[in-house]
Chains A and B, each alone.
Chain A
Amino acid sequence: MIKHDIVIIGGGPAGMAAAAAAYDSGVKDVVIIDREEKLGGILKQCIHNGFGLHKLGKELTGPEYAAVYEKAVADRGIKVFYETMVTDISEGRTVTAQNSGGILKIEAKAVVLAMGCRERSRGALNIPGTRPAGVYSAGTAQKLINCMGYSVGKRVVILGSGDIGLIMARRMSLQGAKVEAVCEIMPYSGGLTRNIVQCLNDFGIPLYLSTTVAEIHGRERVEGVTVAQVDQNRRVIEETKRYIPCDTLLLSCGLIPENELTSTAGIPLSAVTSGALVDEHRQTEHEGIFACGNVLQVHDLVDYVSDEAEIAGKSAAEYVKGNLHSAVTVKTAAGNGVRYVLPQRVTVPPKEDISLFLRVTQPFGKVRYTVKSGDEVLAAAVRLKAAPGEMEKITVKAERFKNINEEITVSLEEVQ
């Protein structure tokens, strides 16, 4: 058994930022455990630009953004266990991991969960048809092309218009493939508008909304797909079926936080975010265990992952130093038009202002958000538009939480 003050599980953007923040908050004995041979997580394969505008004030590619935090980790002398897979976290915060050297047991004073997320697979989507080669999740294709240099396909259909699907539509086009269509089952895109502009419109790729892949054809290799429009219950409308010849189908149908470790440890998860239930310190319902990044909630921007990870890292350090005491909390809840609010509970009164993160249920025009506890309005904010693909943040001043004991609800109403 070895001992460390803070063990961080995952060396992607969340893990790296949490490690540096914990160190800078005064706890020097921080270690990162990562299953790959290099830090950076998914950023290593995201070779496109657009990262860092908010957080670092410059526009970087994924690998460049990762390198900034990799350097922060190295400069602080933070130890990294590479090619090491965590298999268990006990109630008493003993982390069990495995690598080529055998089994490792680390007793930690605090643990930060930063395992990220994974893509929804074909199996989970239940797409009918044969099982030929040429069906990839968008992220797998991204890794094969960008890191390993394979050509994945020449004629492509993409199901799902999340950001990875849009980015891959552009990537495949640049690599010389013909992207025939991006199909989205919902009546709106799940990706950022800027990605529709610069990844689809720039390359003349059509986006078909309320459309899905109804069947995959081909024995050895994909030969084509049948696409069809869906009704409001997302059921295929038979008479709209049409065949598109292609050799590759990419799936970009949502990301799922990778919480097997978390649930095995008995840490309660949210049914909506599929991540742990946390307070404003990103502390889960198990004392001393924190969570951040895409394992907590799927983010649109890595910049916000880094922000969240810094909160978790700093809080883990405060916990180790004995400064984070259990306190009275009030639950937060999603009201009209809001799908979820994170954190799911907040300390009252808090020491600092609290930012509430949320996603809306469907696209809206101009909206007014209201944060209320009982009849008392804690904060309000107006935004020109709201979309499920874009996370929203509303900050509530610390002093507004005085004398609050009822559930805090965030709701929206459309305004003219």
Chain B
Amino acid sequence: MKRELTCIICPRGCSLSVNIDGAKTCVSGNSCPNGEKYGIEECIHPTRTVTSIVRVENRENTMVSVKTARPVPKENIFDVMEIIRKTSVKAPVKIGDIILTNIYGTDIIATKDIV
């Protein structure tokens, strides 16, 4: 299998050429090791970090931003969103607080302080 990809790890956006032949993988066009890792993973099992928002119950018109602590399988992005959508929290919230545990293999954590 041969695929042409754009690396999304950093803004440089290298054009990658990925060749996968059984257990043998070959990535070219990348400028760093992260690009090689991305190229292989994107072909075998693509993942994404999901970022979203959770309502803060005890503050008017206030949302706390959250993210998956680790990337989740790309095909589960909308499943993760559905779970996040049904969630709400109470302030105070600190950056790094775990909002939900064990969601598709990772946690949902806060990315903003709400005093």
Given A63-B95, A145-B53, A149-B63, A197 contacting B6 (CB threshold 8 A): yes
Interface pair A63/B112, CB less than 8 Å apart: yes
Given A174-B81, A192-B13, A146 contacting B48 (CB threshold 8 A): no
Hey, which chain A residues are within 8 Å of B53, CB to CB? Answer: 47, 145-146, 149
Q: Which 6 interchain pairs have the tightest Cβ spacing?
A: A47-B65, A193-B13, A63-B112, A194-B8, A194-B13, A61-B111
Other-chain contact of B111, A47, A149, A198, A202 (Cβ < 8 Å): A47
Most buried by A among B11, B61, B74, B77: B11
A residues whose Cβ falls under 8 Å from a Cβ of B: 44, 47-50, 53-54, 59-64, 67, 145-150, 174, 176, 192-194, 196-198, 202, 300-301, 390
Interface pair B51/A48, CB less than 8 Å apart: yes
B residues whose Cβ falls under 8 Å from a Cβ of A: 5-11, 13, 48-53, 55, 61-63, 65, 67, 74, 77-78, 81, 85, 95, 111-113
Q: In the complex, A342→B17 CA distance in Å?
A: 35
Hey, which chain A residues are within 8 Å of B113, CB to CB? Answer: 67
Interface pair B74/A148, CB less than 8 Å apart: no
Q: How far is the CB of A200 from chain B (nearest CB, A)?
A: 12
Name the CB-closest residue of A to B10: A53
Number of A-B residue pairs with CB-CB distance less than 8 Å in the complex they form: 81
Interface pair A148/B8, CB less than 8 Å apart: no
Q: In the complex, A44→B111 CA distance in Å?
A: 10
Given A67-B95, A194-B11, A148 contacting B62 (CB threshold 8 A): yes
Given A148-B62, A149-B61, A193-B13, A49 contacting B8 (CB threshold 8 A): no
Q: How far is the CB of B87 from chain A (nearest CB, A)?
A: 13
Interface pair A198/B8, CB less than 8 Å apart: yes
Q: In the complex, A189→B55 CA distance in Å?
A: 34
Interface pair B67/A49, CB less than 8 Å apart: yes
Q: How far is the CB of A129 from chain B (nearest CB, A)?
A: 30
Q: In the complex, A149→B49 CA distance in Å?
A: 21
Q: In the complex, A374→B85 CA distance in Å?
A: 61
Other-chain contact of B67, A61, A147, A198 (Cβ < 8 Å): A61
Given A47-B52, A48-B51, A67-B113, A61 contacting B77 (CB threshold 8 A): no
Q: How far is the CB of A393 from chain B (nearest CB, A)?
A: 12
5 additional contacts, CB 8 Å, given A44-B112, A174-B52, A198-B8? Answer: A47-B53, A61-B111, A62-B65, A192-B13, A194-B7
Interface pair B111/A64, CB less than 8 Å apart: yes
Hey, which chain B residues are within 8 Å of A47, CB to CB? Answer: 51-53, 65, 67, 111-112
Q: In the complex, A148→B62 CA distance in Å?
A: 5
Q: In the complex, A146→B112 CA distance in Å?
A: 11
Q: In the complex, A240→B106 CA distance in Å?
A: 47
Q: In the complex, A284→B13 CA distance in Å?
A: 33
Hey, which chain B residues are within 8 Å of A193, CB to CB? Answer: 6, 13
Interface pair B48/A198, CB less than 8 Å apart: yes
Q: How far is the CB of A348 from chain B (nearest CB, A)?
A: 32
Given A174-B81, A202-B74, A61 contacting B61 (CB threshold 8 A): no
A-B contact pairs, 24 of them (CB 8 A): A44-B112, A47-B51, A47-B67, A47-B112, A49-B51, A50-B11, A53-B9, A53-B11, A61-B111, A63-B95, A67-B112, A146-B65, A147-B63, A149-B61, A174-B50, A174-B77, A192-B11, A194-B7, A194-B10, A194-B13, A198-B8, A198-B48, A202-B74, A202-B77
Given A63-B111, A146-B63, A147-B63, A49 contacting B11 (CB threshold 8 A): no
Q: In the complex, A62→B111 CA distance in Å?
A: 8
Q: How far is the CB of B15 from chain A (nearest CB, A)?
A: 8
Q: How far is the CB of B46 from chain A (nearest CB, A)?
A: 9
Hey, which chain B residues are within 8 Å of A192, CB to CB? Answer: 11, 13
Interface pair A149/B62, CB less than 8 Å apart: yes
Q: How far is the CB of A124 from chain B (nearest CB, A)?
A: 27
Q: In the complex, A155→B48 CA distance in Å?
A: 24
Hey, which chain B residues are within 8 Å of A63, CB to CB? Answer: 65, 95, 111-112
Q: In the complex, A202→B61 CA distance in Å?
A: 30
